[in-house]
Amino acid sequence: MGVPIWVIVIVGGIVISAFMAVKTGREEREKERELIEKEGEIYMERLEKAKEEKTESRSFG
């Protein structure tokens, strides 16, 4: 008596599901990290622009 085929199919499905969950999680973390970096760059650009505007207004005023 061997292992029934349906048990092998279920175990295979669990393994594939776990693999896909890990893969998707990594992809989502990577996309989130890229988005955070992009937002951080935009924020730093805004800070630099505000600093430049503040410096310019001091020199004129």
Predicted structure pTM score: 0.62
In angstroms, the CA 42 to CA 40 distance is 5
* Token pair for 32: 């989130």
Tokens 């349906």, residue located: 6
pLDDT at 12: 98
What digits encode the pLDDT tens for the residues 1-48? 789 999 999 999 999 999 999 999 999 999 999 999 999 999 999 999
The residue-averaged pLDDT of 49-56 equals 88
Q: How far, in Å, CA of 61 to CA of 55, rounded?
A: 10
- 60 pLDDT tier (thresholds 50, 70, 90): low
